Structure 1
Amino acid sequence: MSRLRFIKATIYGFGKWVDYSIDFTDELAIIYGENESGKSTIQRFILFMLFGLPPKQRAYYQPKQSGKMGGRLTVYDAEIGEFTIERQDTVRSGAAICYTEDGREHNQAWLQERLSGMNLQTYQSIFSFSATDLSFIQEMKEEDLSDILLSIGLTGSTTIHNLEKQLESSMLDLFRPTGKKPEINKQLNELDERLHSLRNFRENEETYREKKTAIDQLKEQVEQLQFSLNEAKAARYRVEKQLQALPIFSEYQQYTSSLTSYPMELEFPEEGIERLEKVKEGLLPLQSQLSVLQEAENQYKLKLQSIQDERMEDVYKEAQEILEEKESGLDYYKELKKIESTLEKVEVQLEAEINRLNIGISREELSQLTFPFHVEKKWIELKNNANQMNAEKQQLRLEENQLKQERNYLLNQLQMLEDEKLSEEKLQKLNRTINDYKENDLLHRLQTDALKKKQEWQRTKKTKMKSMNNLLLICIGVALLAVMLAVFTERALFMYVMLTFLLGGGLQWIFRKYTMKEMERMMTGANYSHTSNQHSEREIEDAEHLLAAHHSNLREIELLETKIKDNEINRLKFLDAKHSFKDKEARLHSLIENEYENYPFLNQVEIMYWPELYHSLKHLLSLVKDYQQELENRSQISDNLMKFEFSVNQFFARNNWEINANHSLIDKLGILESFVVNELEMAGKMNHYCDLLKDNDKQQQELRQKIKTYEKEIGILFENANVETEDSFYKKAKQSKEKTEINRLIERTINQLQMIFSKQEWEQYVENNLDAPRLEAKYNETKEKIVQIEKEINICREELAAIQASIALMESSESYSDSLYHFEMEKEQLNKLAKEWSILKIAMEMLLETKREYRDKYLPKVIEKTSIFFQELTGNTYCRVYAPNEDKPFQVELESGIRFSVDELSQGTIDQLYVALRLATSLILSENHRLPFIIDDAFVHFDSVRTKRMMRIMESIATDQQVIIFTCKKEVVDASQASEMIPLSNIM
């Protein structure tokens, strides 16, 4: 598998780029630049370095500011390391020269070998695609997908596709089931004509068929004898091969006989001796290291025991517990002073806040006051409801006025329209005027059409009369001719012919004459007369205008009546809303009175200020609560300070430590700290030795595990060899080697036999124990049989020649010979064309079968990989992709099981599906070619989220294969954190 990666590109001159370099240091490189910044030129330069360009295309990229056209591309190959490709337009006609790290030079054939035969078209099919390819997926069918797989996966795919079209065209040029122009169709017609002519010649010769039958029988006899001769020769050939292979059969029997002296199943591990020696070499150092570690373990345990004897762990734990409360004890006094100062401040603040509110509530009442959790919400709702009631009252007044004004306006408009309506008599008169006008117009058009048809009938009538008279004259002429023939030949048949023609001609003339009279009567009978009432177009326009205005007024009246009904409905709704408002207003006053009863001090505050009052009272209650809490804290801290000092004195008394009466609490704590420090030092030493013991034990376990692994491997070797001792193992190794050699020799003789015979044949020959005398006798017998059959064939051929000579005399006529010659030539040509068509048909079937096999092999893998990429691109929105079939396009499936065809998706989602399909197809079909991917702005319709997902996929692909992305979108650059951005603006 070839794996290449671009490292650096140096451009001498190519299009707009002159003397510039690009470093591809990362596996994922993004070349960013605006439109017309030269991205496509760089992409084309890379392809030029790999595959070259024809002279005309090289001329297109000739730089205008330099005489040099070409450059260098440094590539890393996983097999040979770095090498550099150099191409120049004026050097070697643009052919490549490659420089490897060892300083050697290689030609273009060597580069093609490193690319595994890859050409430009195949590389672009597998490793390169752009935004212009995205629209193809919507019309993609199953056959298109098969062609894509074939075109991407096979080198020379365009040739295969062109070959398919060429085969189909050639087949149609040769033969069509219903055609006349193809070669085979024309040849069949020509052959039919020749055969018909030949049969006419042969009908006069009675004995011709008998001789032809005799010829066929003799030919059949010759064919049977020839078949028997071929069988006899084949039998002789088989005996010759058996005689040649007798020494090989002898060697095979000798080897198989030797093989029986060994056990049927001789199990021995592969390279068993070398593996055993390698295991023993690794086992001895491990056993030595284990002994050293065991000795060190004993020394650590002795030192650890001596330290444990000196420690006082119970006293240490008790002293440590007291010292843990040291800081708390010293802080108790400071906290007492702080609490007393806080109590004074809170008391002053409480008095100031009560005086500021001035709502007639005392400190004692405040301490007893409690607010349920819903009071604040309730007061806010009351305030909001009161404000809402005022707004609704104003809104109801406005709605009432608007309804009254609207009703008055609609009634006035309705009365005006009623006055403008036309009377019923006037309407009937206008409708009658318009109907009369339309009737006259229709009669005029019918009369015009009748006149045209009458004129056409006169022309047709003249033609028909002429044809009728001509046919009658012909029939009379034929009848006269039949009468003359009857007179001269005296045959009654001609009289019947005369009567038939006279009767037929006369009847057709009478029938046609009658038909034309009927048509004439119909044409003259059609008469259309106008009505007496005539009106001008001006009168009709005025009438239509008046009717349109009348109908418009009717529609407006209906509309106004509907609006009046709507106004009445709205007025009823308004009355209901007014009653509802009064009910709500009464309920609100009831709720406010209830709050006055619960909290009398609210009588002195307007309802709009109740929420602010609640917060102020809440703050006062919080201050009262803080004051009471500080009192409780002062009492608790005093108790804790006394308890701590008592526990210290108790510790010294229990452990009989001597102290003076002048020792303060701090002095006693200092003695405890010195004792704890000493104990910590001894504990540290103990921990050190414990750690050493743990490390020692861990190392021993690791060594034992390694020793156990080696011992287990030795056991596995003995078990695979089915032995228990090392000597038995070596003995069995020798037997296995000898048996393997015999099997190799047997395999060699079998290969020699299979080159001469099939497997079934040589196994049967070995079983029959062939010997030379019997084979020689059989050989002589077949040889005599061949001679006898050849004699019989010669006799039959002589008889056949005599009969053919006789037929030649019968066919000596020049016309017959010429006809027979052309018939055989045409027949030979037909056979040639049929054979050519059959070859094309077989080639077409083989090509289609190859395409189907290739599709069935790769399509499931491609669709599975496409589903993975598409699911990740769409954030698990779609979980599966289904390939197109004969009548359905691509389909995608949601996690809920619902499917959508590709034409039901958005443009961005369709593009993502194509990119997923393109990547999957390239990855599956490029397993043997790991060349860098080149992608040109294929994510143009992606949003920012799916662009990030796409870049994550590209980063994962880049771990195995280099990816180079050309883009003009900054979002693509920002979406990847693991890529190298190459801005073209900096290169310029």
Structure 2
Amino acid sequence: MIDLKIQEIHIYGFGQLSNVVINDLSDFQVFYGENEAGKSTIMALIHGILFGFPTKQSSELRYVPKNGSNYGGKLIIYFEEFGIATIERIRGKAAGDVTVTLEDGTTGDEELLKQLLGNMDKGLFQAIFSFNLHGLQNIHQMKGDELGKFLFSTGTLGTERLAKTEVELQKELEARFKQSGKKPVVNEKLKALHELSGDLKKAAAKNQGYEALVSDKERIHKEIEDISHKLQVVKSEVEKLNEWQKIHSLVKEEKWIQAEIKSLGEYPFPVRGIERIEKLNQLIYPYNAQISSLLERIDQLKKEMASIQPENQLLADESQILAALDQIPIYEQLTLEKQQCEVKLADLQEKMSIINEKLHLPLREEEVLTINTNIYMKNQVEQAARKQQKLLEVKQDLEEKFLEEKNALEDIERKVNFAETQMIPAHERERIEKLVSDDSEKRKVEYELKAVQDKIEYFKHSSEQDKKTFAAITKQKQNQSLAIGALLLVLSLYGFYSKQWILLVIGVLGTLLIVFFLSNNNNNRKNDAKINQALSQLLEDEKRFIQQLERYKNSNIPALQEKLKKDNYWKEQQQLLKIKLEQQQTQYEKVIGKFEELEIEAAENQDMLVKLSNELHIPEYIAQSFFLEAFQLIEQYKLICREKRNLLARVEFINHEKAAITERLTSYAKLYLANEGNDFSKIGYLLRNKIREEHGKVIKIQEKQGKLDDFNADLNQMKLEQAHLISEKKKLLEEANVEEEAAFYELGKEVESKLKFIERLEDIRKQVQYSFLKNDEMERLLQIHNIEERLNQFHNQIEPLSSRLLELQEKLAAANYQIQVLEEGGSYSELLHYYKQQKFELEEAAKEWSVFCLAQNILSKTVEKYKNVHLPRMLAKAEEYLSFLTEEQYQRIHLQQSGTGFLIERRDHTLFEANELSQATTEQVYVSIRLALAATLYEKYRFPIIIDDSFVNFDGNRTKKVLELLTTLQNNQILFFTCHTHLLPYFHPENVMYLHKDNVEVIS
């Protein structure tokens, strides 16, 4: 886990900021400033120091200072794993030179910084932990399913890169190949290759002899290669023979010298043997005189040492004597300690008398020491004393509690009785309820009366209108019907007399219709009768309802309702008071029960006190009030008794030690001093002087012995060196396998001749090594006796081979010319070459298409795995944040069944796509996903979350909710940059840092 917090920011020079220090950054730090106050500059500096400054080729702003100040700055960051770390980045190579210093003194560069940041890169950091208006502006510009894909991409990578990548891959695939396309690259090349294949077959059909010429050309070409190889071999042999003519004399001399060296044999002779034996002879002779001089000086020292002899017995007893002398201060100290012990014994006796007076118990020291005062007994006494005190306190508390609960119970009982007196008797309440119920019935009758009167008015008005309208229409229709009936009658008669049966049928049917119409008017009159009957019924109902209302005139309903309301109030009060009364009675009974428990516990504790007081021999009347104090006095008495016994034992030990010291000092004084006495100081002084004298003798002997040892060592060293030189000389003779020096010198001359031959052999080999001939070739050439003859033979082979080679080359040129003619000026070969080129280009284009197709497939599988494995945990946290931000208006975020979109579920379980939500709600979804991404999938990276005015489009309530949500993110430091004053009241004043255009300061 990478857990860090930025504590200080030092800006050397970055943009318009120079020599600025921002320290004591809080867990929720707000930077407020107007435009161009340096907010974006501080954000860019944090990104630059952590991940490198933008390069000159980058599209990001580099913030190079214009005033020539140092470019860069440093961050002081607390890492949970590494402690305080200082990260400094200044102008240098492309991304700047960085220096990292840890709390333990460890320093490093980019590699250590990557380790501290867990290999987090700049792009991922800005995508996950850096908020700005860019993401929200993207939301505003998107339409349709693009918005859902953008939110999904945000939930996986923190940015829209996933959505963009998916679209770009699809575009790249469609630009290369479509199933029914014509313009994509692969489609075009497939079509062109198909056409070229047909043209190539046509061109090949015109050249039937082409294959035979090509076969002859290959045969001639192979024969040319064979002859060229033979010719090359012959020329190589000629070169070797020419080289051999240059070096054969040196090779033969080398063979001769090797034979001579072999004839001289291998004599074992040391390297530079003659020079070495002469040098050894010069070193051996001076040692004889030096050895004689040392022997004389050794004899003189031995005589001087014999004249000095120390007293060995005194020196042997030195440690015991000095130990005895060291006991003299102890003797005096023991005397003083004995006096102090006697004083303490008197003081302890006085204390024991005082304790006896306080306890006033007839106890002896032996009896007191037998009393059990161990830790367990002390703990029991303390517990019993504390419990007795506690029981007294509890009893007082219970008595007070008893009075409180009793008074409260009586008070509630009084209130219950008062509430019952205020309630209406049951029979009176029943009467009032009946009257109020009748009032409801009155309102119902009034409502029904009003409805009946409205119907009567409606029927009267409708009846008059219908009568007038019906009379006019009826009269008009009767006139028309009579006129039409007369015409139809005439038509029927004409048809009957003229025997035109169609006219007769028409006339008859028309007459029947006229009759039916006239009869329909009678039906209308019947309807008028029904209406009159209904109106009469309504008038009777009206009269009945008016009579009913007369009965309800004299009742005062509002006053009765108010009385019922008050009675209901006192009924509720009575029920509540009864519940409180039951609860109070329970509390009262609990207090009484606690009194009983207290009495039982007090009796048990009293038994324990009696038992313990008997064991401690303390009277019961003392144990009742001063049990712990009495135990402590007994404990003190036992301690004083033990201390008294220890002091008496110490006095006895002191007497014994003093007697032993006196005896030892007296015995040494008698043994080594002439005078005897009891003055220990004088005895010590004389014995120490005696020891120093004897040590002086020992030192002199040791000095002379040291010189003697040095002389002996020098003598032995000289003898060893002389013997070593003689041994070295003998080794030289043995290496040469001779016994005398004369034979050694004779053998040296022969070895010198052999060395000269070896040097000449080395010179020859240096000359021969530059030849390109190998050793086996040289051995082969040594067997040739007549080199000139062999050279002539090879020259005779070269001429016919060269002629044949020239002839074949001419044939090859003719075959090439015929092939060229047959190819029609090169059309076939060009087609063939172009066909292969197009086929290669098609394969390359297909490879590119398959790469993009594979990438799309991998991306789809990755997205699917992410949806099924990692995304659910992130979405659960995002749903929690979204529910909080929208005040539970939107509660769930669902994945699309296919694709990469989201569905948002409202509280009423209605599902919305992202583009169907309002702008503000979409931004809340975006913020929830971004924060959930940092809190779940990237929870191991507890980096600061940097927010740059990302919520300015929210209203007051939404802004308040999102800032409350940010305060719950305890694992991440929040760096909030804003230029809006209306946001400042949402933050603690001590967490706000005010940025000005000329400097940066903290205003608390």
Q: TM-score, normalised by structure 2?
A: 0.40
Larger Rg: 2
| Alignment TM-score, normalising by the size of structure 1 | 0.40
